[in-house]
Amino acid sequence: MKAVGVVVEYNPFHNGHFYHVEQSKILSGADVVIAVMSGPFLQRGEPALLSKWQRAKMALLGGVDIVFELPYAFATQKAEIFARGAIDILAASGCDYVCFGSESGHLEDFYSTLNFINTHQETFDHHIKKNMDEGMSYPRATSSAFQELRPSSQMMDLSKPNNILGFQYIRAIEELNLSLTPLTVARKNADYHDQELSSTHIASATSIRKSIFTNNGRLDELSSYVPNTTYTELVDYNRQFGQFLQWENFWPLLQYRLLTTDQNDLAKIYEVEEGIENRILQLVEKASSFSEFMTLLKTKRYTWTRLQRLCVHILTNTSKEQIRDLSDRASYLRLLGMTDLGRQYLNKWKKHSSLPIVSRLASYKGKEIELDIKAAKTYALGFEKAYRHIALSLDYKSAPMFITKKEE
């Protein structure tokens, strides 16, 4: 059985994701789709809208056959580390292909860009450092450095988020010397950062989340933008927990952490660099919400995304030392769910797996998974008191879910 891998967050699973899964099958000719999916906290430094278990279920109902969790140590990182961890897991799970969405839509653009940067790596790095010394954020410094190299028109725009991730996926495949074959699908209709629901049946996850929070959890207008299975899961989840999570749910916890931490201890937290701990502690008492805190904290040098990731690490009390002690390679496969076809694949493939498959927390010990457990517990604290005990027990009580697909 051939497998195609996808790197996802599904926050939540929508029609654009369904299209991506379908195209991944068509382009690869694979029998099985394997998703590596972020856990409770995401690459842009945000808490997930709903738990990884519900998002995994949406994925399985939407065409994915196996869902593995992307560990916290990779999921809450800049694009390069995020991509490396995800690609490593897909390769370890036996994927023949990886298919990603991009604004470019042309695979040759990625290889041209990678070869161009590799050829000019020293100059490229020099321009990045110069731009950052002038106060630019890392993403802007990188994009500007690329333009300073005067790339040809055949190369892609590295300021676009999906192009950046796609570029890093291909770079990871090359650097890790993996046999994965990359494929790409052009994004349809909605832009990654679109804030408003579009007039078509495809909208960005950002606009879907905004609709949920601005409409006090009402889901009526989302039915055109998500598969019926996702809509049903959203309604059921809202009925069970009474809320969807966003950063504001965690603001009292983050504020408490900061108000009871001195600058020396704060400086030990991962991604707290260049004295920003002083600015953080100066501003935390002035903000009445997470959004206000971020607005006060934001500078040209620090993107909103980087600051959010930094706040996640403060919230979970993740230190530089903890991350430094971890390997830069995946060490386990945390199984969240599978379909009947996915189970058939795993039964055949697991004998050849280079990494252990973790289906229950009690079956595996390690520093990496301890970060995942801590992140899941922290995420559970965002729920209202009446639901918190349910959320706290999910990781320990939940076995990988099994979805039997109906015959067409």
Q: Residues marked as binding for ATP?
A: 7-20, 101, 162, 187
Q: Are 234 and 39 in contact (CB under 8 A)?
A: no
Residue 176, burial from CB neighbour count under 10 angstroms (0-12, 13-18, 19+): middle
The label of the residue with tokens 């065409």 reads 63
Alpha-helix runs per DSSP H in 215-275: 228-241, 251-259, 263-266
Q: Are 48 and 19 in contact (CB under 8 A)?
A: no
Binding region: 7-20, 101, 162, 187
Non-local CB neighbours of 112 within 8 Å, separated by 6+ positions: 152, 154, 155
Beta strands at 333-339 and 401-403: parallel, antiparallel or unpaired: parallel
* 5 bridge partner residues: 34, 98
Residue 359, burial from CB neighbour count under 10 angstroms (0-12, 13-18, 19+): middle
Which helix or strand (DSSP H or E) is residue 38 part of?
A: strand 32-38
Within 10 angstroms of residue 396's Cβ, the number of other Cβ atoms is 12
Non-local CB neighbours of 6 within 8 Å, separated by 6+ positions: 20, 21, 24, 33, 34, 35, 36, 64, 98, 99, 100
Which helix or strand (DSSP H or E) is residue 70 part of?
A: strand 66-70
Beta strands at 357-358 and 401-403: parallel, antiparallel or unpaired: unpaired
